[in-house]
C-alpha cells in the first residue's frame, strides 16, 4: 500500500483530500503542529507532529516510508498584516519551507511531490483572455511571489533528484467550511442589502473544493502529470453580478444590485484602503483549465451550480 504525506491535512482542502486518499486505499500520514487536536483528522489517517514549517524544520521522521507528498500547508493571505516585512514572512514558510521539505523528501526517496500553488502566480487580472500555463508569471503580492519562488525551487530540486514534481494553481476555492473571502460574500448577500455591482461585466473562475480534491488525487498518480504545472477551474466563469444572483437565489432571496460606475467603486476602494478587495469584485480573473482536462482526463465532478448550492446549504445550516 503506497503512503502519502499530506501537509495541512486539518485544513479546508486537507480534510476532504485526506479522506479521499484513505478511501482509495492509500496510507495517509497527516501532519499536525504541536498542540493540534488529533481528532481533527479524518478517520484512517496516521498523525505525525512537525514543527512549524521553515527553512530548517526537521522532517525526516515524517517522510520515512513515504511515496508521495501533497504539500498544502502555507502561510496564506493575512487580512490584517502586522509583520514588518510581510514578504520575508511568506518566504520563510512558503518558499524556503517548501524547498526544505522537498530536499528532505528527495533524500528520503519520495517519488512524487505535488505542490498546491495559486493562480496569483499568473497575476490578479486576466483581462480579455483567460490565464494559461504558458503565461509569463506576474505575481502581484507577497503571497503569490513566495509561491512562485517555491515552484522555481521545486523544479531545481527535482532536476537534481529522482523525484517528480507537479504544481497546481487554483483560483478562489469555495465549498462547505470555507473560512475566507467567500464566507464574507455569503454573509453580505444573506443580509439582502443593495450591492453596487449591476454595471460590472467581468469574468471570474472559481474552484469547488471537491473538484480540487479530485485534481490533486489525479496528480498523485497520473504518469503524464510528472514535471507539469496545471491551472484549475470549475469550467464556468461568472461575473460578479451573476455570482451574487446565484447565491441569492440559492438562499431564496432576490438579488439587489444597483448601477454604480466601476470608476466610482475603484475610487472608493482607494480612499478606504480596500483597493485589493474591490479589484477582486470588479476585475476579471479567468482560468483556462483545458490542459489538465486534455492531458490527464480530469473532469470536475461538481458543476458550479451544484457547488454554489451545496455551499449555500452549508452556510444556511451553520447560521454563520
Q: For residue 90, which of 130, 131, 141 has the smallest C-alpha distance?
A: 141
* CA 161 to centroid of chain Cα atoms: 27
Question: Among residues 131, 143, 174, 230, which one is catalytic?
Answer: 143
The sign of the torsion formed by the CA atoms of 106, 109, 111, 113 equals negative
Cβ atoms 257, 241 nearer than 8 A: yes
3-state secondary structure at position 67: coil
Cβ atoms 207, 178 nearer than 8 A: no
Q: For residue 126, which of 135, 116, 117 has the smallest C-alpha distance?
A: 135
Residues counted in the chain: 320
Active site residue 143: yes
With vertex at residue 215, the alpha carbon angle to CA 189 and CA 58, rounded to the nearest 5 degrees, is 100
Cβ atoms 133, 229 nearer than 8 A: yes
Q: What is the largest CA-CA distance in the chain?
A: 59
Side-chain half-sphere exposure of 305, counting CA atoms within 13 A = 1
* CA 204 to centroid of chain Cα atoms: 15
Q: Which residues are annotated as catalytic?
A: 143
Amino acid at each position: 500500500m503506497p503512503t502519502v504525506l499530506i501537509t495541512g491535512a486539518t485544513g479546508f482542502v486537507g480534510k476532504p483530500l485526506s479522506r479521499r486518499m484513505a478511501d482509495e486505499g492509500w496510507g495517509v500520514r497527516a501532519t499536525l503542529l504541536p498542540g493540534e487536536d488529533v481528532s481533527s483528522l479524518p478517520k484512517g489517517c496516521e498523525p505525525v507532529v512537525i514543527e512549524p514549517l521553515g527553512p530548517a524544520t526537521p522532517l525526516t521522521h515524517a517522510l520515512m516510508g513515504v511515496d508521495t507528498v501533497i504539500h498544502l500547508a502555507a502561510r496564506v493571505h493575512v487580512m490584517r498584516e502586522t509583520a514588518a516585512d510581510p514578504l520575508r514572512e511568506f518566504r520563510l514558510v512558503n518558499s524556503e519551507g517548501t524547498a526544505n521539505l522537498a530536499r528532505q523528501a528527495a533524500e528520503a526517496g519520495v517519488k512524487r511531490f505535488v505542490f498546491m500553488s495559486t493562480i496569483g502566480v499568473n497575476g490578479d487580472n486576466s483581462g480579455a483572455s483567460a490565464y494559461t500555463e504558458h503565461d509569463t508569471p506576474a505575481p502581484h503580492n507577497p503571497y503569490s511571489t513566495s509561491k512562485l519562488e517555491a515552484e522555481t525551487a521545486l523544479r531545481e530540486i527535482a532536476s537534481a533528484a529522482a523525484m517528480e514534481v507537479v504544481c497546481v494553481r487554483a483560483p478562489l476555492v469555495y465549498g462547505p467550511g470555507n473560512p475566507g473571502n467567500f464566507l464574507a460574500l455569503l454573509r453580505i448577500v444573506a443580509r439582502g442589502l443593495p450591492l453596487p455591482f449591476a454595471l460590472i461585466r467581468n469574468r471570474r473562475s472559481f474552484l469547488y473544493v471537491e473538484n480540487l480534491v479530485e485534481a490533486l488525487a489525479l496528480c498523485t498518480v497520473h504518469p503524464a502529470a510528472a514535471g507539469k504545472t496545471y491551472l484549475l477551474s470549475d469550467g464556468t466563469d461568472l461575473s460578479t453580478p451573476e455570482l451574487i444572483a446565484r447565491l441569492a437565489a440559492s438562499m431564496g432571496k432576490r438579488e439587489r444590485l444597483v448601477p454604480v460606475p466601476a470608476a466610482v467603486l475603484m475610487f472608493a476602494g482607494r480612499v478606504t484602503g480596500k483597493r485589493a478587495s474591490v479589484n477582486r469584485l470588479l476585475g476579471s480573473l479567468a482560468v483556462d483549465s483545458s490542459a489538465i482536462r486534455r492531458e490527464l482526463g480530469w473532469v470536475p465532478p461538481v458543476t458550479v451550480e451544484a457547488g454554489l448550492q451545496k455551499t449555500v446549504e452549508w452556510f444556511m445550516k451553520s447560521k454563520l
